[in-house]
């Protein structure tokens, strides 16, 4: 089997773990999401992208002229969609897929200028190349082209796009103005991957130059924002936190992690480690979502994590998974896989409806009653068919199509399972079979199917939330496993050997530290890797805004009407805050202490997984619920 990893460090790269590309998800939770992605989302994405004019832009660029339609970054929608197609083609070759891929690739190739340049907005408007890199997204689009091209080569061996991407990259190496930076990072990580695929060192050098060139306030300012909005305030090596536009910050950090890996740059890796930790400690929503500020789609200050004004762009979650995965490869530390898992289930997945045909760009963690019906902050209006800026849907498509690659790694000593799904791993002469009902069920059964006759280490992540996790292995049953670490067993395995994890998936309450004041006095329900929420659809007799818990006991529930039968709701006893309309007037009272709410009740509270909200009647929703 060819190595169709998404990220493929060179043999000499400074990484602790390497991808184990031969993992294929073939059942369970993620296979179902991947099926909807393949059968609904990707075909629909092709139509929507066609309607947006993005294909027409390429056709016109190929013909040498015409009016550009859509955003300056419209090309990137095509490239991300092509990347998804490439991964799907590698998974299940079909004539339809091949034809769609072939047609779009040919279009891209035809649109490329003779010298390798390609950006239909610039080509069709006649604006000078690289004259407005702060806003033009020329290199951002180039990066997505390169990623699609690498995916095509790795997944199917098809080199047509790689040839286009390589010619563009060669042109950039030759003709890009010195010190040029794109306002929207993305090309950095793409150039490194193209280097990994082709061995052309100049691509890595260009990426390295761009990482080091950033943070010196050389990009022109935009609107009311300072240079931080585009990560141009502080050099990445000196930064202590993430700042600015969240998607840009994630893509830049992913690219920097790639550069650090390929150049062995420990200073850069240390800086990224520091920034990642600060992000997790102070700027990450419970869902893994990133970006609390609508204005500039950016990170707020530490602990500025208001649920209802969360931005949490779906693309930022995709970028976070990409960065964390690269940090996981670099270090082998389970915290990175913890965040990947949290983010995948609770920040990426909410970006697409269960039906696969509606999308959230912004993911609020709370929606109240009474919002203006035309408030364009997306959560109050539910998922949308598509977006004028359609970066998020195809980003989810390509991640879901390539998700298999993020689950397992290998190193000199063995294999490491980070994320769990039913499937078969083929890694050299090791073949493992994983069976699990995860995330609904914490039981993960890992069976050795083929193995060399020499000892190797099987490592399996015990998530940080998995208090009470146990392992049944060859050395005993019910052995406690430490959350936030890897269970490791080194031995000479034999076919049929089995390790069974019990990750203690059961509902639990989660509270926030005092500095996270927006959650003061409240708790959230989680169950395994899933963050839960209260949605109005399950509470016909009381407004979600007035619900509170009446105890800490949580129980699993039976399937709910309108949600897939697999979804396990969680029930708790609750009460209802009495909101006295006759109080009228100001919502503030003179009081020597916080007001004690008056209660009605009892009511049954039904929590559902946050990713599954907004799939029934739209209404108020909250992740945090008061205890009193």
State yes or no: residue 275 binds a copy of itself (CB under 8 A).
Answer: no
Q: Is 210 in the site for a copy of itself (CB under 8 A)?
A: no
CB of 295 to a copy of itself, least distance (A): 4
Task: Enumerate residues 6+ apart whose C-beta is below 8 A from 126.
Answer: none
542 contacts a copy of itself (rule: CB under 8 A): no
- Contact status: 573 vs a copy of itself (CB under 8 A): no
Give least dist CB 91 to a copy of itself, A. 33
Where b means 16+ CB within 10 Å and e means fewer, 136-152 reads bbbbbbbbbbbbbbbbb
Q: Which of 123, 282, 353, 451 binds a copy of itself (CB under 8 A)?
A: 282
The answer to whether 95 touches 32, Cβ cutoff 8 Å, is: no
The C-alpha atoms of residue 613 and residue 560 are separated, in whole angstroms, by 12
Q: According to CB under 8 A, which one of 194, 512, 550, 605 is a site residue for a copy of itself?
A: 512
**303: contact with a copy of itself by CB under 8 A:** yes
The position carrying tokens 């969680």 is 570
**Residues in contact with a copy of itself, total (CB under 8 A)?**
84
Judge contact between 140 and 186, C-beta under 8 A.
yes
| Axis-axis angle for helices 160-175, 201-213 (nearest 10) | 50
Respond yes or no: is residue 297 known to be catalytic: yes
Binding part of the chain for a copy of itself, among 365-373, 416-424, 489-497, 559-567 by CB under 8 A, reads 365-373
Residue 264 neighbours by CB under 8 Å, 6+ apart:
13, 14
Nearer to a copy of itself, 116 or 626 (CB): 626
In the shown chain, the binding pattern of residues 66 to 105 toward a copy of itself, with x for contact by CB under 8 A and - for none, equals ----------------------------------------
Query: Among residues 19, 116, 152, 228, which is the contact residue for a copy of itself, using CB under 8 A?
Result: 228
The yes or no reply on residue 521 touching a copy of itself (CB under 8 A) is yes
Is 148 or 286 the residue whose CB approaches a copy of itself more closely? 286
Contact flags string 367-386 toward a copy of itself, x per CB under 8 A: -xxxxxxxxxx--x------
From residue 132, give the alpha-carbon distance in Å to each of 108, 296, 487.
Answer: 23, 19, 51
Nearer to a copy of itself by C-beta: 76 or 284?
284
Nearer to a copy of itself, 128 or 593 (CB): 593
Selected catalytic residue, list 141, 312, 315, 391: 391
Nearer to a copy of itself, 170 or 304 (CB): 304
Applying CB under 8 A, among 39, 177, 274, 281 the residue interacting with a copy of itself is 281
* Residue 576 beta carbon to a copy of itself: minimum distance, rounded to whole angstroms: 10
Relative to beta strand 599-609, strand 530-535 is antiparallel
Residues 581-600 within binding reach of a copy of itself (CB under 8 A) = 583-595, 597
Choices 54-62, 188-196, 514-522, 564-572 (CB under 8 A): range interacting with a copy of itself: 514-522
Task: Please report whether residue 208 would count as binding a copy of itself according to CB under 8 A.
Answer: no
Minimal distance in Å, beta carbon 524 to a copy of itself? 8
Counting every residue written for the chain, the total comes to 628
Three-state DSSP state, 607: strand
Which of the ranges 113-121, 205-213, 302-310, 432-440 carries the binding residues for a copy of itself, by CB under 8 A?
302-310
Q: Where does this chain touch a copy of itself (CB under 8 A) — which range of 24-32, 126-134, 263-271, 294-302?
A: 294-302
Stretch touching a copy of itself by CB under 8 A, among 119-127, 207-215, 220-228, 428-436:
220-228
Cα(450)–Cα(556) distance, integer angstroms:
37
Query: Pick from 21, 227, 289, 557: which binds a copy of itself (CB under 8 A)?
Result: 227
Decide if 392 is catalytic: no
Q: Which of 546, 603, 612, 621 binds a copy of itself (CB under 8 A)?
A: 546
Q: Of the candidates 35, 67, 277, 490, which one interacts with a copy of itself according to CB under 8 A?
A: 277
As measured in angstroms, the least distance from the Cβ of 176 to a copy of itself is: 27
Rg for the chain, CA atoms, rounded: 24
The alpha helices in 303-391, defined as continuous H runs, are: 314-331, 334-343
Kindly tell me which residue out of 243, 341, 435, 497 binds a copy of itself, with binding defined by CB under 8 A: 243
Site for a copy of itself in 121-180 (CB under 8 A): none
According to DSSP, the residues that pair with 416 across neighbouring strands are 409, 459
In the region spanning residues 457 to 496, those forming contacts with a copy of itself, defined by CB under 8 A, are 464-465, 467
String of DSSP letters for 521-583 = TEEEEEETTEEEEEEGGG-TTS-GGGEEEEEEEEEE-PPPTTS-TT---EEEEEEEE---GGG
Evaluate whether 185 touches 231 at the Cβ level (below 8 Å). yes
Give me the phi and psi of 304, to 5 degrees please.
Answer: -85, 85
Which residue is catalytic, options 188, 243, 297, 535?
A: 297
Starting at the edge strand that comes first in sequence, how are the strands of the sheet with 443-450 ordered? 23-25, 423-427, 430-436, 443-450, 498-502, 470-473, 476-480
In angstroms, the Cα distances linking 626 to 225, 519, 552, 591, 623 are 36, 9, 11, 20, 10
Q: Is 70 left (phi over 0), alpha (psi -120 to 50) or beta?
A: left
> Residues 397, 85: contact at Cβ < 8 Å?
no
Residue 601 in contact with a copy of itself, rule: CB under 8 A: no
Instruction: Verify binding: residue 293, a copy of itself, rule CB under 8 A.
Output: yes
Catalytic residue set: 297, 391
């Amino acid at each position: 089997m060819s190595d169709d990893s998404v990220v493929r460090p060179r043999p000499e790269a400074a990484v602790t773990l390497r991808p184990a590309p031969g993992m294929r998800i073939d059942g369970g939770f993620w296979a179902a999401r991947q099926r909807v992605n393949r059968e609904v989302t990707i075909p629909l994405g092709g139509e929507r992208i066609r309607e947006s004019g993005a294909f027409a832009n390429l056709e016109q660029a190929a013909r040498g002229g015409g009016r550009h339609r859509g955003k300056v970054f419209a090309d990137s929608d095509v490239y991300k969609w092509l990347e998804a197609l490439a991964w799907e083609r590698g998974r299940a070759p079909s004539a339809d897929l091949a034809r769609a891929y072939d047609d779009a690739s040919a279009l891209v190739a035809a649109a490329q200028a003779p010298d390798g340049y390609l950006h239909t907005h610039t080509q069709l408007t006649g604006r000078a190349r690289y004259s407005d890199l702060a806003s033009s997204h020329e290199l951002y689009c180039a990066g997505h082209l390169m990623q699609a091209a690498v995916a095509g080569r790795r997944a199917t061996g098809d080199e047509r796009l790689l040839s286009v991407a390589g010619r563009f990259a060669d042109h950039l190496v030759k003709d890009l103005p010195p010190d040029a930076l794109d306002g929207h990072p993305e090309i950095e990580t793409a150039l490194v991957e193209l280097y990994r695929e082709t061995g052309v060192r100049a691509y890595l050098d260009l990426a390295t130059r761009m990482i080091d060139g950033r943070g010196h306030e050389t990009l022109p300012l935009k609107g009311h924002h300072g240079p931080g909005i585009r990560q141009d305030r502080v050099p990445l090596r000196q930064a202590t936190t993430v700042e600015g536009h969240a998607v840009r910050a994630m893509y830049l950090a992913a690219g920097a992690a790639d550069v650090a890996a390929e150049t062995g740059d420990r200073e850069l890796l240390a800086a990224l480690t520091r920034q990642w930790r600060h992000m997790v400690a102070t700027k990450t929503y419970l869902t893994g979502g990133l970006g609390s500020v609508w204005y500039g789609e950016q990170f707020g200050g530490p602990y500025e994590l208001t649920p209802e004004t969360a931005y949490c762009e779906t693309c930022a979650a995709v970028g976070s998974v990409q960065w964390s995965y690269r940090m996981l490869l670099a270090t082998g530390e389970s915290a990175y896989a913890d965040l990947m898992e949290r983010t995948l289930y609770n920040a990426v997945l909410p970006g697409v409806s269960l039906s696969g045909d509606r999308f959230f760009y912004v993911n609020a963690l709370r929606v109240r009653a009474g919002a203006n019906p035309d408030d364009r902050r997306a959560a109050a209006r539910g998922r949308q068919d598509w977006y004028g800026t359609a970066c998020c849907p195809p980003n989810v498509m390509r991640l879901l199509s390539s998700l298999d690659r993020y689950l397992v790694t290998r190193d000199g000593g063995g294999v490491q399972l980070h994320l769990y799904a039913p499937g078969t791993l083929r890694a050299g002469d090791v073949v493992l079979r994983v069976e699990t009902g995860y995330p609904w069920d914490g039981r993960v059964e890992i069976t050795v199917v083929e193995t060399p006759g020499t000892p190797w280490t099987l490592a399996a992540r015990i998530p940080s939330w998995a208090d009470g996790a146990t392992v049944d292995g060859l050395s005993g049953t019910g052995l406690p496993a430490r959350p936030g670490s890897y269970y490791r067993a080194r031995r000479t395995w034999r076919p049929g050997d089995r390790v069974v994890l019990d990750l203690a998936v059961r509902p639990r309450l989660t509270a926030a530290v005092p500095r996270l004041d927006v959650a003061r006095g409240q708790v959230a329900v989680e169950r395994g890797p899933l963050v839960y929420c209260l949605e109005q659809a399950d509470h016909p007799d009381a407004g979600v805004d007035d619900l509170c818990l009446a105890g800490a006991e949580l129980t699993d529930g039976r399937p709910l009407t309108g949600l897939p039968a697999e979804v396990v709701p969680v029930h708790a006893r609750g009460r209802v805050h009495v909101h006295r309309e006759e109080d009228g007037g100001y919502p503030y009272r003179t009081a020597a202490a916080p007001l004690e709410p008056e209660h009605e009740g009892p009511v049954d509270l039904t929590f559902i997984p946050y990713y599954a909200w907004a799939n029934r009647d739209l209404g108020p929703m909250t992740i945090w619920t008061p205890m009193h």
